[in-house]
Amino acid sequence: MNIVILVVTIAVSLACFYNADLFNRLKFNAWLIKERKQTYRFLSYGLVHAGWMHLAINMFVLYSFGNHVEAAYKMIFGPAKGLLNYGMLYVGGIIFATLLDFGKQKNNPYYDAVGASGAVAAVLFSSIILMPTSSLFVFPIPVPIPAWLFGILYIAYSYWMGKKGNDNIGHNAHLLGAVYGILFTIIMKPSLLGLFLKNLGI
């Protein structure tokens, strides 16, 4: 399923690079959702990216972690339910990541957002719950850091930058996507929380 998500997202994003009308019809816009009931935008924006680098980073992270999470879900829940749960993790991450910005921007017709970052964050943080002691390389840090430490730093940074709100990056979406990934994984299999803590020696 992860490969299908990658292929579809890349194909739609590439199409939108060369078709501004399609880009505008798929992007997230809270005002259009509220005023014109275009609720499909809660999902469609995750298929659209702002540029090549935006697309490349999201797809690289999704490819790096998504295959492992999907495989782990199949082992934990069984092949069919594992696929279903992985789909719910990804799609739910797309929707959940927009909730804060929808509430804040629903009366602002000029606020737009695109990208799968919220869903990718959900997958990444699901992997952290599953494998908290694994090591991650994060540019520009020259040495690997534990996944659990990266998770703490990521959430703190996203919260702080979301409060500042002085750039064009969807930090609130990153934060909510991460939170969703944690909660979804634990709700689906509560015993994973105990295993997570045990792996950390708590």
Distance CA 75, CA 82 (A): 7
* pTM of the predicted protein model: 0.92
pLDDT at 22 over 90: yes
pLDDT at 162 over 70: yes
pLDDT at 148 over 90: no
- pLDDT tens, 99-144? 999 999 999 999 999 999 999 999 999 999 999 989 887 766 777 8
> What's the rounded mean pLDDT across residues 22-44?
96
Would you list the domain boundaries of the chain? 2-199
- pLDDT tens, 166-180? 555 678 889 999 999
- Amino acid 165: pLDDT: 63
Tell me which CATH code domain 2-199 carries: 1.20.1540.10
Other beta carbons within 10 Å of 155: 17
